[in-house]
Structures are given as C-alpha cells and as structure tokens.
Structure 1
Amino acid sequence: MSKLSRKLFWRMAIMICSVFLVSFLVNTYFLPKYMLYQKKVNLAELTATVQRTSTDELAKAEAELEQQYNVTIVSSEFESNLNDLNETIRRKLYAEGVSLSKFWLSEESIKELKQNKPVHKLYNQTKLNTSFLVTFLRVDDKLVLIGTSVAHSDQSLRAVNTFNLFIAVGALLFTLGLAWLIARQIIRHLKELAKNAEDISNLDFHKTELKTGDEIELLAASINQMSDKLKDAHLALEQKNDNLQSFISDISHEFKTPIALIKAYSSGIRDGLDDGTFLHVIDKKTDEMALLVDKLLHLAKLQNEPYQMADFNLLTLLEHALENYEVAIQHAGKMVEVDDRRLHQPIVRADQQKIGIVLDNFISNALKYSNEPRVRIELANEGERLLFTIRNSIRSWDEKDLKQIWQPYYVMESSRNKQLSGSGLGLSIVRAILEKHEAPYGTIAEAEEIQFYFSLPVRSG
C-alpha cells in the first residue's frame, strides 16, 4: 500500500471509529433518558386533554385516545378501602393486557388526588424487564389511570451497539479497499505530473493532458502553463546567448582592429617612421573605442536611470536632430523628407533628452541601411497621441530579423562591411527608452521598405 493509501485509510478509519464511538455513547447514556422524556411529554399532553374532559366524554373517546397516544386508560370509582381500590385497578389493567407484578397506590397519593393534583408513578417490573409509567387523575368523582410501558433498553442497546460494531468493522474493510482505489487513481495522475515536472527540469518541455474535473486537472493546467512559459524563456535565453556570442565576436573584432592599428602606429613612432599622421590615427581609433564603450555603459545605465518627464515640441527636437546629420546626409547623397501635414499638436510629454537619443538612432540607422537616397519621416496626431514614423528602403530582410532586431547585440547585416555593420546596440537602447516611457513601438517591413514607429502622449489642454 502506498503512503497516500495509508493516509486515506487511517483518516477515514478514524472518522468511522469516531462516528461509532459517538453513536455508542449517545445510545448508552442519552437514548434511554430521551425515550423516557418523550414518554413523559406524551403523557403530559394527554393528561392535559383528559383534565379538560368530563367522565362521559372520556368514556366515549377512551379508545381513540389510547390508540392516538399509544397508552392504556382505566378508571374506577373512589373507594374508601385503599386495598380494594388497588385491586380494582389491577384487575382492569390486567383486562387491558397489562400485567403488573408490583403496583400500589398510597394514602398520600389519594390525598393529592382529592386535591385535584395529578400523581405520577413509575413501577419497575424487573422480571418483565419493563417499567410502567403512570399518571393518576381525578376526573369528577372517578379515579383515572393513564399508563404506558417503558421497555428497559439495556438489551436493545447492546444489540444496537453490537450491530453498529459490525457495521464499523465492515466500513473499515470497505474503507481500506476504497482508499486503495482512490489513492491508485490519484497516484497515477500524480506520477504523470511528477514525470512531466522531471522532464521540464531536464529541459524537455511538453504537456500532460488530464481531465479529472478536480484540483489535479487544475494542477496539470498550471504545470502545462509553466512548461510553456519556461520553454519560451529558455528559447529566448538561448537566442540571447547566441546574440551575446555573436556580439562578443563582433565587439572583439571592433576592438581588435583599432588596438592593432594603435600598436602598429605606436611602434612606427618609436622607430621614427612617423610622417606626422600617426598620432592622428591613434587618436581617431582611441575615440572609436571610447564611443563603443560609452554605448555599452549607456545601455546598462538606461535600465535604472531616472527619467525627467516634461512637455516639449517633438517637431523642434526632430529638426535639431536632423541638423546634426546635415553634413552626413549631404556627404552620403541622401535626402530626408519630413511630412507633418497631419500634425496639429506637436507638444508631447516625455524625457526630452532620452527621446533625442531615440530620434538619433532611428535617423542614423535609416541613413546607414537605406539603399536609396530618400528617407521619409512622418509626424501625425492620432487621438491623444503623436505618432512618429521613419521609412527607408532596405537591401534584404528576413522574418527572423523583425523578431530579433530589438535585441541587444543583434545586427541585421551580418557582413563585416564597416559601412553596414554596427555593434547592435542602437535599437536595444531605443527599446529600453521607449519601454521606460510605456510607449508603443514596432517595426513593419513591406516589399523592399522597412518602417520604424513609436508614439507618445500629447499635452492635454
């Protein structure tokens, strides 16, 4: 027997034994008293009825009352001789089928009856194993006896308790089998869930379909839900690890090239080969390395840095950002078009410095990756929000690019062409900023064009 079977058996056995014990105590100590009490209540009710009835009416209704209350009613004239009175009543009771081995009405009882007080007696008939509960009444000039038999309950109670004991033993045996069946059914399902949990711990994510209609089904549903979430988290973690490895490889290359150049030019200076440009090259490569490190530090800082929310003009901020790229735009032969025809309220509430970083990254990416001269930017009000959209043509794209483009270290252009590749940190910085603002954002790719967008709440009033 399993542990669960034993637990179920003992708990159910204790419950059955407790019920049997309570039943035994109630039957032994309270049931006789309760039965006698019910007889007394029944007799008292009938006594009150008889006291309101005349002797003539009583004679007519005697048979009906006896049947209704399950009692024996006899009556007799008061006689001066007490012995004769007792004998008369005894004979009448015998005629009614009541045989008493012990019966006596005393002088004190006669005095109380003459004062119209009811007299209550209980005659214990030991040999007959019964008692006779009697109420004497004076109705007009007659003595009326109302009596009912009270069986001694010892033997009956022993029989009842013995029968209950047999029932309890049978119930325990039945409980043993029932506990085994229930536990077997529960354990079978729990073993399935335990196996599923063990598989999940070994990164084997799958579901267990159980239809029990109880808490076990809810537990299975919870484990299935946990399995799905862990699977998604595991896949995301693997993807991040892959991106991280790619990033480490890329960033190592980014650092390795300037370090090699710095070392080469330093050696040239030491050997007297400097033509006047060596220090300039070393400064340039050092600045490139410092810029990359700054981006890494900036991405880490954005997670916890406090944001200063204020109202500002997004169109003005965009114009300043484009001014910074004016030379780069002319040098690359690009053209940036800004469409603000649907812009009625340019004032938004956000962290202006952080949104400036977002605009800078979007513009930089569009200029870097666009294979056509034109880059289009649109500002438009939609309800209580301002929507920013930037579009540019793209050489090629894959569905997986759109899913991972916002992840740190991911670069859409996997080649090492310096004009196209980057550190993969720009859009992850953008995502961190926009998520801090709780701003909707996303990417849409259609044909040979890619579109980035985000929206901010406009100033109310």
Structure 2
Amino acid sequence: MNKLGKKLSLSISIAIICIITFSILLNKYFLPKYYLHEMKGNLESVTETIGSINKKDFINAVPELEKKYNVTIVYEQTNEDINSFNDSLRDNLDRKQVTLNKFWVTPDTLRKVENGKKVNKLYDQGKLKSSFLSSFMNKGNLFVLVGLSIAHFNDAAKVINMLYIYVLGIAVVIILLLVWLLTKKMTDPLKELKEVSEEIAELKFKKALKFKKAHVQTNDEIEELAYSINIMSDKLKKAHEDLLKKNENLKTFMADINHELKTPLSVIQIYAQGLKDGLDDGTYTDTILKQTKNISSLIEDLLNYSRIERAVFTKEKFNLFQLFQECLSKYDLECRTKNINVSVSNKVKGEMRVDADKKKIEMVFNNLISNAIKYTQNQKIDIAFAESGGQVLFTIQNGANIDDKKIEKVWEPFYVIESSRNKNVSGTGLGLAIVKSILERHQLDFGVLHQEGYIQFYIYFKRIP
C-alpha cells in the first residue's frame, strides 16, 4: 500500500477504534446508570400525576396510567399484619403478570408511607437478571405501589461490547480494502501529475503535452488539478519557446548593435585621424557627422523602447487625423527626395476624436511612416482612414515582398527583415516593437497583412463623440 493509503488507513482505523472503545466504556459504566435515572424519572412523573388527583379518580385512572407510562400500579389497604399485607401486594402483582421472587415491604417503609412520605426501592431479582424499581406512596389510606421491571445491563453490555469488537475487526478489514482502492484511484493520477511536474521542472514538455484532462477522469479536484497543470504546461512551453526565440533575437541584436556601433566608430576614427594628418578633402567632417547621427539614432531607439516598456501613459482627447497630418508633413522632404508617392484617403465623416496618449500615438505614426519609407519597393505608400463598426480603421501599405513565415515576426523586438544589413533599408528592429507595445497598452486591435507585392499595417482606433 502506498504512503497515502497507509496514512488514511491508520487515521480512520484509530478513529473507529476510539469511537468503539468509547462506546464500550459508555455501555459498561454510564448507560446502566443513565437508564436507571430515566426510569426513576418516569416513576416520578406517574407519582406526581397520582398525587394530583383524588382517590376515586385515581382508581378509575389506573389502567390509563399503566398504559401511558408503561408501569404496573397496584394498591392495598394497610394491614397491621405485615406478612398478610405483603402477600396481598404479591397477589395483586401476580394478577398483573408481575412475578417477583424478591419483594418485601418492611414495617419501616410502611410507616414512612403512612406518614405521607414517598419511598423508592429497587429489588434485585437475582437469577432473573432483572430488577423491580418501585415507588411507594399513600393515597387516601391506600398503599399505592408504582413499579416497573428493569433488565440488568451488565450481561447485555457484554454481548453488545463483544459485538462491537467483531464489528471493529470487520470494519478495519473493510477500511483497509476501501482505502487501498480509493488511494490507488487517487495516487495513480497523482503519480502521473508528479511525472509531468518533474518534466516541467526540467523544462521538458513532451510528456506534459501528452498529459490531457481525458487521462484523469475522477470528477473531482484531482481532475481539475490535472487540467490546470496541462494548461500551465502549454503556457510554460510557449513562454519557454518565446524566451528562447527572444534570446536568439537578443544575440542577433547584440551582434547587430556591435556591428552598428563598431562600423561608424571605426569610420569616425579613420576620418578623425585623416583630419589630424591634414588629409581632409572637404568631406571628412560631413562623414563624421553622418556616422555620429547614425549612432545617435540607434541609441535613441534603444532609449525609446526602454521608456515605452515602463512609461506611464497619460490619455487626452485629440483629433487623430490632424495629428497624423502633422507627423506626415515631417517626412515630405524625404519622400520627394526619394521620389516616393504618398497617397492619403480619408473616408471618415466628421472629426476623428480619440482618447489616448497623444505623444505615444505620434510615435506610432512616425515609426509606421518611416518604416514604410524605408522598406517600400515600388516607391509608393498608400494611407487610408475609414469607418468600421464605430471605430476608425487606419491602414498604411507599401510595396514589399516578404516571406509569409516571417510576417508576424516583424513585431518582435530586435527582429530585422534585412539580415544583410543593407544600409538603405536596415534598422535596429525596434521601431515596430515600440509600435506594438504602445498599441497593446492602449488595448487597440492591430495587425499586419501581406499579399503578393505589398505589406499593410492596420490599427482600429476607438472613436469618441
């Protein structure tokens, strides 16, 4: 038997042994006294009733009182001859089918009753294994006996106690069998849960994933626990895989950062040395400034991403379309320089008012616009605002050919589509990660779509009156 079964068997067996032992002691020492006390109380009730009625009514009420209280009532005129008096009482008892081999009313008892006192006596009947409890009282010159037979409890208690011992033995055997079956039903799934937990603790999710609720059908908390562990396993597996991916992305990012910083720093060092040696042809300063700007931009992206993750958002009401136009105007010169055609369509009626953190939404627009300018392959960017179920749907798309398997990765921090690090299109991979973080904290629906020839980002803004 398993440990749980042993503990349950021992605990339940001890409880039953204590209960039966208490019952045995109760039967032996307390129950006879309690029974006698109850019988005396019953006689007391009868004698009080008799005392409250007159002699004539008493005689008429004897049969009813005997039936009601399950007692024997006899009465007799007092007689100076004590022997004759006792014989008359016995004859009266015999007529009521009460035969006593030990019964005698003493002169002292008779005198007390004649003086108006109530006397109680218990007559042990010896081999009959019973006693006769009697209460004597005087009622209008009548000696009244109210009595009832009481069985001896000692022998009965011995039989009952022996039965308890047999019951105890049988109960212990049944308990051991039931506990074994119960604990086996409990511990089998618990063992499986233990194995799964150990697999999870060692970050091995193969067994955990195979462990489903259908394997534990106990219809109780164990099944619920199994189901919860299964869900936890799935989530931990996903989190673990995400962490591994992020670690890989972080390694790539750190290598990229090293490259991004090392390359311009090397260029700056070379051109600074050229300035020192007097080799400047008029372009050295511009090159140094350009490389410095690249480093500054990279650092700014890192700082922005770090701030977004822990920043407190301050919402305010503002015109979404007006904010977008302000953002887009900043890229007008760059678009004309690169011959990029930007079209903006607005099909929303009325003012586009939203409640959001204005500076963070401005950062979203800036990142999406700069991203489209950087990656467009057909020199064209299409931007649209439309109504959709009471919300404002914003879309921005540009020409691009991207592997469908990589499309959802564009939101991941440190992910860069152009792994070749082409200077014309490459970035730090933090721009869209910043966009995702801001939109998620605003609880806005957003996503990315890719079809042959173009990529589209979309956001649903919650419009307010």
TM-score of the aligned structures, taking structure 2 as reference length = 0.86
Measure the CA separation in 2 of the matches of 1:139 and 1:23: 43
Identify which range, 248-257 or 216-225, moves more after superposition: 248-257
Q: Secondary structure at the match of 1:303?
A: helix
Match of 1:179? 179
Identify which range, 186-195 or 174-183, moves more after superposition: 174-183
Offset of residue 424 of structure 1: 0.9
Match of 1:90? 90
- Residue segments in structure 1 that go unaligned for 5+ positions in a row: none
Q: Is the 8 A contact 2:75 2:144 kept in 1?
A: yes
Measure the CA separation in 2 of the matches of 1:181 and 1:306: 58
Compute the RMSD of aligned alpha carbons: 3.1
Q: Deviations over 1:374-417 (max 9, x none)?
A: 3222234556644322222322341x333222110112344433
Measure the CA separation in 1 of the matches of 2:454 and 2:202: 43
1:146 aligns with 2:151: no
Mapping of residues 188-267 of structure 1, within 5 Å: 188-205=188-205, 206-208=209-211, 209-267=215-273
Offset of residue 446 of structure 1: 3.8
The residue type equivalent to 2:102 in the other structure is S
1:170 aligns with 2:170: yes
Q: Secondary structure at the match of 1:121?
A: strand
- Residue segments in structure 2 that go unaligned for 5+ positions in a row: none
Match of 1:285? 291
Match of 1:100? 101
Measure the CA separation in 1 of the matches of 2:396 and 2:84: 127
Q: Is the 8 A contact 2:374 2:424 kept in 1?
A: yes
Mapping of residues 41-52 of structure 1, within 5 Å: 41-44=41-44
The match for 2:279 among 246, 267, 273 is 273
Q: Is the 8 A contact 1:408 1:424 kept in 2?
A: yes
Q: Deviations over 1:262-289 (max 9, x none)?
A: 3433444455433221222122112211
Measure the CA separation in 2 of the matches of 1:219 and 1:311: 47
Q: Is the 8 A contact 1:5 1:179 kept in 2?
A: yes
1:350 aligns with 2:351: no
Offset of residue 47 of structure 1: 5.1
Measure the CA separation in 2 of the matches of 1:105 and 1:92: 17
1:348–1:67 CA distance, 2 compared to 1 (3 A): closer
1:93–1:307 CA distance, 2 compared to 1 (3 A): closer
Q: Deviations over 1:325-356 (max 9, x none)?
A: 11111122222222223141233332322222
Measure the CA separation in 1 of the matches of 2:78 and 2:328: 131
Q: Is the 8 A contact 2:109 2:119 kept in 1?
A: no
TM-score of the aligned structures, taking structure 1 as reference length = 0.87
Measure the CA separation in 2 of the matches of 1:120 and 1:213: 63
How many equivalent pairs are there? 457
Q: Secondary structure at the match of 1:375?
A: strand
The residue type equivalent to 1:197 in the other structure is S
Measure the CA separation in 2 of the matches of 1:268 and 1:107: 144
Measure the CA separation in 2 of the matches of 1:451 and 1:78: 123
Match of 1:438? 443
Q: Is the 8 A contact 1:389 1:452 kept in 2?
A: yes
Measure the CA separation in 1 of the matches of 2:74 and 2:171: 49
1:368 aligns with 2:369: no
1:316–1:67 CA distance, 2 compared to 1 (3 A): closer
Offset of residue 126 of structure 1: 4.6
Measure the CA separation in 2 of the matches of 1:396 and 1:111: 120
Identify which range, 48-57 or 283-292, moves more after superposition: 48-57
Match of 2:37? 37
Match of 1:17? 17
Q: Is the 8 A contact 1:336 1:375 kept in 2?
A: yes
1:92–1:379 CA distance, 2 compared to 1 (3 A): same
Q: Deviations over 1:227-278 (max 9, x none)?
A: 0110110111122122223323333332343234334334444554332212
Measure the CA separation in 2 of the matches of 1:313 and 1:97: 109
Measure the CA separation in 2 of the matches of 1:211 and 1:141: 82
Measure the CA separation in 1 of the matches of 2:54 and 2:22: 44
Identify which range, 118-127 or 106-115, moves more after superposition: 106-115
Q: Is the 8 A contact 2:401 2:452 kept in 1?
A: no
Match of 1:28? 28
Mapping of residues 118-133 of structure 1, within 5 Å: 119-126=119-126, 128-133=128-133
Match of 1:394? 400
1:310 aligns with 2:311: no
Measure the CA separation in 1 of the matches of 2:189 and 2:312: 50
Q: Secondary structure at the match of 1:405?
A: helix
Measure the CA separation in 1 of the matches of 2:126 and 2:246: 95
1:60–1:287 CA distance, 2 compared to 1 (3 A): closer
Measure the CA separation in 2 of the matches of 1:390 and 1:77: 123
Offset of residue 299 of structure 1: 0.9
1:226–1:256 CA distance, 2 compared to 1 (3 A): same
Q: Deviations over 1:400-437 (max 9, x none)?
A: 33322211011234443323322211101112222333
1:323 aligns with 2:324: no
1:421 aligns with 2:421: no
The residue type equivalent to 2:367 in the other structure is N
1:71–1:43 CA distance, 2 compared to 1 (3 A): same
Q: Is the 8 A contact 1:395 1:448 kept in 2?
A: yes
The residue type equivalent to 2:226 in the other structure is A
The residue type equivalent to 2:198 in the other structure is E
Measure the CA separation in 2 of the matches of 1:371 and 1:289: 26
